[in-house]
Amino acid sequence: MLDLLAMLARRWRIVIGLVVVGLLAAAGVTQQVTPSYRASTQLFVALDSADSAIELNSAANFSSQRVKSYPDLVDSPLVLEPTIAELGLELTAAELAEDVSAEVPPNTVLIQVFVDNASPVLAADIANSVSTNLAAIVEELDKTREDRASPVRVSVTREAIAPDSPRTPIPLLNLIVGLLGGLVLGLAAAALREALDTSIKDEGDIQETIGLPTLASVPTNSEVGSDPILGHSPANAVWAESYRKLRTNLSYVDPDNPPKVILVGSALPGDGKSLTAANLAASLAQSGKRTVLVEADLRRPSIGKLLGLVPDVGVTTVVAGKAAISEVTQSCDEFDVITSGPVPPNPSELLGSQAFRAMIQDLRSTYDSVVIDTPPLIAVTDAAVTAVVADAVILVCRAKRTKRNELRRALFGLRAVDANIVGAVLNQVALSSGAYYQYDYRAPGAKAR
């Protein structure tokens, strides 16, 4: 039941959409279908030669058996042609027969005649005429001798009247059918979409896919473009608190020997690894640790643009021996940043070099925390090469975008170099979804948002 409710919470748009389609389709069909009115009459069949109780009982048995064959006559030309002539209908007997029917209720000598027509008045007129003609034909056919009256008497006990409402369509019934049909299709479509969707949706999917804990779930933030780095202000408190939660959870990975060099990677571009790395560095700096952010994404660097820093010098400049670390280090609020520098022709070889390892070792001895932003793991091997210098690796995935197989491939790439993968960060989680749970922090006296 919980799985069903979770699926409905994610796929409710599909269900609601198909329910609306079902209702609209039912309303459209109701509008397009020509109304059909049904009029009915009732006839009573009796045998006219019963003088004693025995004869009366015999006549009753005869009538009940004989009356079963009379409904077959109601749509015959013998009955319908006189009706067509009497009412001046522009129909053939075969065409009129499609709208005329009759039945005998069980254990009775009654005949019920039904007529369907687009006009309620004409339906009643046809029913009355057909009943009269049927009675006459039955009595005529049941004559045993031409000079004697028929022993069978057929009487009309209830004449037809023009019906007030159509038999079809029934708008309410059609809407109910449309609603239920749309609901069934919606649930089926939602279940199919859920089965085909292999994206990571919540922390449970991460645990099931790679067997690692989720260190933080970062909600969506519409203001991240103008203010990408968390600060001390209460604005976007829930979003900022998710990175502080990441910092706290990292400290519990190995309380006796907390990681100093932390690598942040992702399976594919666009998962939010650079933003996560930058805000992790900011969060660590706010806790009093001297922190540096190193941009090791040498193919498509973005930290310089994200933080408004100069990208012309950085990692490649230091590794190439053209500048010292202190000469390329830039300041961003409370933490330092080393951007990528000029894009090299051989990023993987550069990141796997002794010079790069020596650079990270120097930073390890100078700073309390070193956060490394790397390229996507599936696209290139740079991140796996860089992971050997890190104490801990964090995998960033984007909710409802990163596929399970992509996350597994990223994990396998890191495990191939014996990287210490400590957990994952689920990025771009909708606050309204069941994948995100967070206390609301507010200042004393402030109103809840």
Report residue 443's pLDDT band, with 50, 70 and 90 as the boundaries. very low
The answer to whether 429 touches 436, Cβ cutoff 8 Å, is yes
Q: Evaluate whether residue 152 is within a structural domain.
A: yes
At which of 158, 187, 217 does a domain end? 158
Tokens of 94: 């075969």
- Residue tagged 């025995």 (tokens): 54
CA pair distance 235, 238, nearest whole angstrom? 9
> Does residue 169 have a cis bond before it (omega within 30 degrees)?
yes
Higher pLDDT, 430 or 263: 263
Q: Evaluate whether residue 66 is within a structural domain.
A: yes
Does residue 126 surpass a pLDDT of 90?
A: yes
The residues facing 403 across adjacent strands are 199
Examine the domain organization and report whether 116 and 237 are in the same domain.
Answer: no
Positive or negative torsion for Cα 87, 91, 95, 98: negative
- Crossing angle of the two packed helices 120-141 and 77-87, in degrees rounded to 10: 130
**pLDDT, the chain, mean:** 87
The answer to whether 379 touches 409, Cβ cutoff 8 Å, is no
Q: Residue 313 maps to which CATH number?
A: 3.40.50.300
pLDDT tens digits for 101-120? 999 998 888 999 999 999 99
* Side-by-side strand order, sheet with 37-47: 100-103, 110-117, 37-47, 152-158
Given this model, what pLDDT does residue 147 score?
63
Q: Evaluate whether residue 165 is within a structural domain.
A: no
Q: Evaluate whether residue 163 is within a structural domain.
A: no
Examine the domain organization and report whether 259 and 372 are in the same domain.
Answer: yes
Q: Evaluate whether residue 449 is within a structural domain.
A: no
Q: Output the CA–CA distances (angstroms, integers) from residue 202 to 143, 144, 196, 268, 431, in the order listed.
A: 85, 87, 16, 18, 12
Compute the radius of gyration of the chain from its Cα atoms: 42
Q: Output the CA–CA distances (angstroms, integers) from residue 324 to 165, 228, 273, 362, 389, in the order listed.
A: 92, 29, 27, 11, 20
- For residue 8, give its domain range: 2-33+170-195
Does residue 236 surpass a pLDDT of 80?
A: no
Report residue 447's pLDDT band, with 50, 70 and 90 as the boundaries. very low
Given this model, what pLDDT does residue 63 score?
60
Examine the domain organization and report whether 177 and 235 are in the same domain.
Answer: no
Q: Residue 105 maps to which CATH number?
A: 3.30.70.1130
- Total residue count of the chain as it appears in this document: 449
The answer to whether 433 touches 12, Cβ cutoff 8 Å, is no
Given this model, what pLDDT does residue 435 score?
47
- Our count of domains for the chain comes to 3
The answer to whether 349 touches 296, Cβ cutoff 8 Å, is no
Examine the domain organization and report whether 57 and 182 are in the same domain.
Answer: no
Q: Evaluate whether residue 440 is within a structural domain.
A: no
Examine the domain organization and report whether 126 and 256 are in the same domain.
Answer: no
Examine the domain organization and report whether 350 and 407 are in the same domain.
Answer: yes
Examine the domain organization and report whether 212 and 99 are in the same domain.
Answer: no
Examine the domain organization and report whether 112 and 27 are in the same domain.
Answer: no
Examine the domain organization and report whether 304 and 346 are in the same domain.
Answer: yes
Q: Evaluate whether residue 443 is within a structural domain.
A: no
Write the DSSP assignment of 68-82 as a string of letters: GGGGGGTTSHHHHHH
SS3 (DSSP) at 330? strand
The answer to whether 377 touches 266, Cβ cutoff 8 Å, is yes
Q: Report H helices in 287-429.
A: 303-307, 315-319, 325-328, 347-351, 354-366, 382-386, 404-415
Examine the domain organization and report whether 275 and 413 are in the same domain.
Answer: yes
Considering the chain, what percentage of its residues have pLDDT values greater than 70? 89
Q: Evaluate whether residue 438 is within a structural domain.
A: no
Examine the domain organization and report whether 6 and 111 are in the same domain.
Answer: no
Q: Tell me the mean pLDDT in the region 392-401.
A: 93
Given this model, what pLDDT does residue 204 score?
87
Examine the domain organization and report whether 343 and 268 are in the same domain.
Answer: yes
Q: Tell me the mean pLDDT in the region 54-83.
A: 76
Given this model, what pLDDT does residue 445 score?
41
- DSSP classification of residue 39: E
